[in-house]
Amino acid sequence: MASMSTSSSRPPSTLSRRQFLATAGALLLGAKLGISPSSAVAFNPQQLRQSMQQLYGQGGLSVLEEWFALLERLRGQDVQAQLRDVNDFFNRRVRWVEDIRVWGEEDFWATPLEALGKGQGDCEDYSIAKYITLKQLGVPGERLRMIYVRARIGRSQITQAHMVLGYYSTPNAEPLVLDNIAPSISPASQRNDLDPVFSFNSDGLWAGGGSESRADPLARLSRWRSVIGRMQSQGFI
């Protein structure tokens, strides 16, 4: 997924993502309502450590312990502090790199363990990691959505596919946008460079900026289904 310009990020482009965004609207408009039950993020720290050790060795374990420390420090704090520090943590710990260079695939969605273990990822990986972390801290899942957008590059009319995480204080509220290319969290109205295409979480799938779920994300998003399966095996859920 595309990342807009900062000193540490460059925008990739992949045909599969453009095709995906081009057809997303039609797919969602034809979808029937079918919300899957939300599963709480209840991780198994020992299993996570074993998974990280097996996949990424001692270096991976070290950053995983930093993540555990982040959770311990932020647990019980106000949601604004949680949003800010989780956004900062992953923006600093994960370096933006195209999927093809990290995974050898055009579009790969990593689990938080995989993103931290590699220390590299793209916009979906940041968004998923922040989503899972905030849910673990007790932020209600219905207040969080991963949002696919068309991101305008600079002052041009050229757009690229991108993903951010949105925090909604209420279902119809303007979301706050957590983005891997922005150091600060901004209301969506201040991000004129982003046009929402659809959003999703563990409970539903929404077209554009809508407030009514149109489909079951596990049924419609195969990559999300794959991430859920790997998180289960690694010890997140």
Over pLDDT 70: what percentage of the chain? 77
pLDDT band, residue 24 (cuts 50/70/90):
very low
**Structural domain includes residue 4:** no
Alpha carbon of 18 to those of 11, 61, 160: distances in Å? Answer: 13, 36, 8
**Structural domain includes residue 3:** no
The set of residues, in sequence order, having a beta carbon less than 8 Å from that of 220 and lying 6+ positions away, is 27, 31, 205
**Structural domain includes residue 216:** yes
Tell me, what CATH number does 175's domain have? 3.10.620.30
Q: Which residue has the higher pLDDT, 35 or 142?
A: 142
Average pLDDT over residues 113-136: 97
pLDDT value at position 6?
Answer: 36
Number of domains in the chain: 1
**Structural domain includes residue 35:** yes
pLDDT band, residue 14 (cuts 50/70/90):
very low
pLDDT, mean over the chain: 82
Query: For 201-215, how does the pLDDT look when each residue is reduced to its tens digit (9 = 90+)?
Result: 988 888 866 555 554
pLDDT band, residue 21 (cuts 50/70/90):
very low
pLDDT band, residue 218 (cuts 50/70/90):
low
pLDDT value at position 222?
Answer: 87
**Structural domain includes residue 97:** yes
The helix/strand/coil state of 79 is helix
pLDDT value at position 158?
Answer: 85
Question: Distance between CA atoms of 197 and 222, rounded to whole angstroms?
Answer: 17
The strand pair at 95-96 and 120-121 is best described as parallel
pLDDT value at position 2?
Answer: 43
pLDDT band, residue 43 (cuts 50/70/90):
confident
**Structural domain includes residue 227:** yes
H or E element at residue 196: strand 194-200
Distance of CA 114 to the CA centre of its chain: 13
Question: Minimum mean pLDDT among 7-11, 53-57, 62-66, 75-79: which range?
Answer: 7-11
**Structural domain includes residue 5:** no
Average pLDDT over residues 63-85: 98
> 77 is in which domain, residue-wise?
15-234
Q: In 3D, which of 50, 38, 41, 42 has the Cα closest to residue 234? A: 50
**Structural domain includes residue 9:** no
Question: Distance between CA atoms of 20 and 7, rounded to whole angstroms?
Answer: 28
Q: Please check the confidence at residue 234 and state whether its pLDDT lies above 90.
A: yes
Query: For 130-164, how does the pLDDT look when each residue is reduced to its tens digit (9 = 90+)?
Result: 999 999 999 999 999 999 999 987 777 788 899 99
The reported pTM is 0.81
pLDDT value at position 1?
Answer: 55
Q: Please check the confidence at residue 193 and state whether its pLDDT lies above 50.
A: yes
